[in-house]
Amino acid sequence: MMNQKSLDNLRMAKPKKEGYGYRYSLPQSKIDELFTYLAEGMTLKKAADECKVCFETARKYFREGDLKRGIKPLSFRLTIFQDKISEKYNVLLEERRIKMLSTVRKAIDLLSNRIETGDLLAKPNMNHLDKLMRLEVFLLGGVTQKEQETKMLTAEDISGGGNNQEG
């Protein structure tokens, strides 16, 4: 049989703790603060310490969120945030790539003209032109790695017995 005072304590409304939301859940401002620290690259442990939140509570909001209040997991929010940053970064990289491609094409045209006219003062050579053309192909999204021819030699090839000469 349970003690009557224990039953009375269970029926009483819980007093609200300072800094906590309804039924001891974290307020939205704390969750947003935790998200900010995580977005800045802090570890979950360090972010929880900075927010003055228990690590287990921070991990709960990171993994599960609070579905009753409609709060998505912080891991989901971070993924969306990082995707948005990646999209913006890709746009900036594409703009830079186009600018570099224009510069390389101008250099190729200039070097080609000097080679054709035989301008020896500038000392243009085919090696420079080749490098610029490879850079142009790379910027266009072509070959990204050097191709290496790899051929395995058999024991017959090494000894010279692999030659099939008909006579």
Coil/strand/helix, residue 136: helix
Give the model confidence (pLDDT) of 110-141 as tens digits: 877 777 777 655 565 677 778 888 888 887 77
The 3-state secondary structure of 109-142, one letter per residue: HHHHHHHHHCCCCCCCCHHHHHHHHHHHHHHCCC
Write phi, then psi, for 40 (nearest 5 degrees). Answer: -80, -5
Amino acid at 163: N
Give the model confidence (pLDDT) of 60-107 as tens digits: 999 988 888 888 898 988 888 888 888 888 888 888 888 888 888 888
Q: Where are the domains of the chain?
A: 21-72, 89-139
- pTM (2 d.p.): 0.46
Q: In whole angstroms, what is the distance from residue 111 CA to residue 29 CA? A: 60
